[in-house]
Structure 1
């Protein structure tokens, strides 16, 4: 009960800070919207898709995973600012759970991601995308796990490096190969065999395939449950590691 209350208190504070500057939600969604409006229309001929709606059914799931990855991986900059302002230091004198310090922040990031994903989905519906609500909700669950995992990793690394100058290149170095090897922009079925073999080691490639299967209404596709399982395991491991870093930093 105390842990749940601690998590809620941190989450509530972080949400209040976010709602005071809701522009950041729209700033975060600006780049994906540009991809949706300016890049997606090129995909019908490129993918030889029968309809534009089918092209969006392939592209939008990857775009949402892209949003979850990048939205989470760069959350550590805010934590470094809190470290510099002494917010984390003052947490040392409170009895609040160190895991709650992490989860409260990460759950804020999840809520922000889902809000952005809803905006992207609604815009895609205007272009003819169709998806069953149940499959969409399960896809959002997968996206939430990705956001929770990547934000936890970002917070943990931020506590280790404690510098924006070190965090920025590290996150970019980590994010770029994950992006290119996940089939976000184009399905990896178009890639040569060696590239597909390398991508099999990228958990986000499984997540993208699973999300695409859900948007296609193929709930029984093995990639859905494989992606969910892989991401859930990695999320648990990431949260456990980041929570330990909070415990080391806030004593």
Structure 2
């Protein structure tokens, strides 16, 4: 072998390259990181379901008495709303976890990691799906002995629609935490101020038929209304316009939440 051959092989040999880490891989890493504390200590999942169970146990007899319908028919209307309610309670408070990370310095350490900030946001938001599905299945299991009969296929699709909505809501909760930083009173003030009007205007606890005109208008511009209607339709096995409108509302909420959350994460320091 001549010196020229050696030189040619040296200069033409490809330099070793490292495998690029994909965005999906980064999102999966963040998702796993965020989910591990929930798996190790599921107390937050258990605690988050207590209040919806109280609503289910206390409001159902009142609705039966006021409507004159059977317990089974009342549960067919009320349980989907309770499932949406528990997702609201759990997902809208996730920004508080980010505030805790800001206080301990954990958030700043993740910002200087090789992971993109958009993957940090999306991975965090996706984590909210798991507790929501687990809690929803517990609610369904509690209601079935009392006459609640969900359509299995509709329940699966309904949980998928609700999961999409929860990703967007969780991202908005993180964006709020990033906006107010460590001011916990500001986070909880905004969260509580928005949560209950949205929930009541969506007709989760009480039907809005016959409500004053301004309430009906406010209900129609509330995206949560369409998600609740979709859950009731799908879980009952009805595949109609309500299901489509709810899926669209959930998708729009998800897109808006991820865009706002990713922008807030990129601006975070």
TM-score normalised according to structure 1 size: 0.95
Q: Counterparts of 1:230-241 in structure 2 under 5 Å?
A: 230-241=249-260
- Aligned pair 1:138/2:157, yes or no? yes
Aligned-residue RMSD, C-alpha? 1.3
Q: Counterparts of 1:1-150 in structure 2 under 5 Å?
A: 2-49=22-69, 51-150=70-169
Do the aligned partners of 1:69 and 1:146 also contact (CA within 8 Å) in 2? no
How far has the Cα of 1:190 moved from its partner?
4.2
Deviations 1:93-132 (A, max 9, x none): 2110212111222122111111101100111111110011
- Aligned pair 1:187/2:207, yes or no? yes
Do the aligned partners of 1:6 and 1:100 also contact (CA within 8 Å) in 2? yes
How far has the Cα of 1:63 moved from its partner?
0.8
Q: Which residue of 1 aligns with 2:185?
A: 165
- Aligned pair 1:205/2:205, yes or no? no
Deviant stretches of 4+, over 3 Å: none
Q: Report the more deviating stretch, 129-138 or 91-100.
A: 91-100
| Count, aligned residues | 248
TM-score normalised according to structure 2 size: 0.88
Structure 1's unaligned 5+ residue stretches are none
How far has the Cα of 1:152 moved from its partner?
0.6
Larger radius of gyration: 2
Structure 2's unaligned 5+ residue stretches are 1-20
